[in-house]
Amino acid sequence: MGSASAPRGDEEDLDKLITEFGSLVDESLVVLIFREQGYQETRKALAEISKDVRDEEASGFDTGNYYGSEGGSNIEGAQSPSLTNSGSWATSDYDIGSPRTAASAMADDFQPLARDQLLPDTADAGATPEATLKSIFPMLKDTDIRRALKESAGDAMRASDILLNIKHLEETGQRLKGIDAFFQLDGFPAKKSRKKAHTKEKETGRQRLSVDYKLAPLSVNEQAECAERSSTQSAPPQVSMTPGNCVDQAAMAEKSWAAAGASYAAASAATRRGRSDPLFRQVAAVYSDRGREQAAVARLRQSAAADAFVEEQSSADVIDVHYVTVDDGVRIAVERTQQWWVKLGEHRIKKARNEPLRVVTGSGVHSAKGFSRMYGEVGAALERAGWKVQPGIGHYLVTGKK
């Protein structure tokens, strides 16, 4: 972290980044990335983040309303960069979209810290570190501020982190009172005396584990909110399967994968920061939850794109699962075989024998290993589902039920 006497150039660079990207990216995230990577790398990352944020806003998709809402089932998007103009995909082993892009998506329910709390060295020139911190934390005692400055060797920035922790503990009612907290900062083990050094060291270690574990437990309201949120997400949302939206769905899946990857990257950065500042552990949890939500949406969009693609290249008695992922190909083959069987009607047994269903998987000649995983997996899945299957070159014929 920087100190109260941080170079003016760094402050100017940070101001430029906040002015340029503050409307698209939360200020706390800008500060966090800037401290980790510096001006040039931060600007590159934020430029990519802001591009994805603009694309997400332009698409009209709201991930906040996607779960647990009745109207959040239709997903529309732009043309996928992972598909050619002709709509063909690379190989059956290729995933439609993966978390490769270092974009970012900030959790809506995370309230970022104010910049004057993160950067106490931006106070009026000439003010002492103690006066600056007192103006930022007026509710804390002078002894808390002096103690924090002493613990941080006069570094106002590090002292502000300690005071943020104390402020959080007081607001949540977790700060120790009386003799238990006398001359000891909350969340930090007491200093070891030279007398009985080994015994004190063992006790201090146990105290650190206990305090860290119980530092910020969920309140009753937060637990209820988490339980309600889990119940609304237990059933995955339905995605529009309208024919012809293959490219759109794949493009939206790519964006969701990018957003999920960015959330996980932010969670990782917050976790590293949480080693010294417990408040960032909550930030890491928020980012991690958001990443899981975005990854779930990406998987649904990816499956929707596969369904739409297969619909475009199939017919009443042909199911062509070429160029989709193996998992999606197996799922679609089994589902559409059952639909074909139902549509045959009353004399389905005779019709199936005379006009069998053709399930095309490809033989894998153009794949890297020279054979098709799709072919083997689809055949095995159809047999497990109870269908009579006749193998062919790159396809199967389904002639009815066993």
Asked whether residue 147 is domain-assigned, the answer is no
How many residues comprise the chain?
Answer: 402
DSSP category for residue 396:
E
**Domain assignment of residue 356, yes or no:** yes
In this structure, is residue 396 part of a structural domain?
yes
Predicted local distance difference test score (pLDDT) of residue 58: 63
Contact by Cβ (8 Å): 110, 283: yes
For residue 209, tell me if it sits in a domain.
no
Residue 120 CA, chain-centre distance (Å), reads: 31
Q: Is residue 385 part of a domain?
A: yes
Q: Residue 353 belongs to what domain range?
A: 313-401
Q: Are 133 and 152 in contact (CB under 8 A)?
A: no
Token digits of residue 15: 């101001």
Instruction: Tell me which residue of 322, 335, 398, 330 sits closest to 367, measured CA to CA.
Output: 322
Strand order in the sheet with 387-391: 318-320, 357-360, 395-401, 387-391
Strand, coil or helix: what is 94?
coil
- Per-residue confidence (pLDDT) for residue 176, from 0 to 100: 58
Mention every residue, 6+ apart, whose C-beta is less than 8 A from residue 277: 161, 164, 165
Q: What integer pLDDT is reported at residue 334 of this predicted model?
A: 92
3-state SS record for 341-354? HHHCCCCHHHHHHH
What distances in angstroms separate CA 62 from CA 72, 101, 241, 319, one per listed residue?
A: 8, 20, 18, 33
Tally of structural domains, the chain: 1
Angstrom CA distances, 168 to 139, 172, 337, stand at 12, 6, 58
Q: Are 46 and 21 in contact (CB under 8 A)?
A: yes
Assess if residue 297 is contained within a domain. no
Q: Judge whether 240 lies within some domain.
A: no
Q: What is the DSSP letter of 62?
A: -
The total of other beta-carbon atoms located within 10 Å of residue 399's CB is 16
What CATH number corresponds to the domain at position 338?
3.30.1370.110
Q: Which tokens go with 109?
A: 């329910």
The DSSP string of 124-151 is -TT--HHHHHHHH-TTS-HHHHHHHHHH
Closest CA to 304 of 234, 377, 237: 237
Burial (CB count within 10 angstroms: exposed 0-12, middle 13-18, buried 19+), residue 33: buried
Q: What is the pLDDT along the chain (402 residues), one digit of tens a residue?
A: 444 444 556 778 888 888 888 777 777 777 878 777 788 888 888 887 777 666 666 655 554 444 333 444 343 443 433 333 333 333 334 343 433 333 334 334 444 444 444 444 444 445 688 887 777 777 788 888 888 888 888 887 788 778 877 876 766 666 655 434 433 433 334 444 444 444 444 444 444 444 443 434 444 444 444 445 444 444 444 444 444 467 777 788 888 888 888 888 888 888 888 878 888 888 888 888 888 898 888 888 888 888 888 988 888 889 998 888 888 999 999 999 999 999 888 888 888 888 899 999 887 776 666 677 888 889 899 999 999 999 988 889 999 988
Place of tokens 């007398």: 195
Plot region of 103 (φ>0 → left; ψ -120 to 50 → alpha; else → beta): beta
User: What pLDDT does 206 receive?
Assistant: 44
Alpha-carbon span 390 to 401, nearest angstrom? 12
- 3-class SS of residue 39: helix
Which pLDDT value is given to residue 195? Answer: 47
Contacting residues for 280 by C-beta, under 8 A, at least 6 apart: 270, 271, 273, 274
Q: Tokens in use for 370? A: 């020279």
Q: Can you read off the two tokens belonging to residue 76?
A: 């529309």
Q: Are 325 and 372 in contact (CB under 8 A)?
A: no
pLDDT of residue 398: 92
Q: Is residue 330 part of a domain?
A: yes
Residue 171 has a pLDDT of 65
pLDDT of residue 82: 38
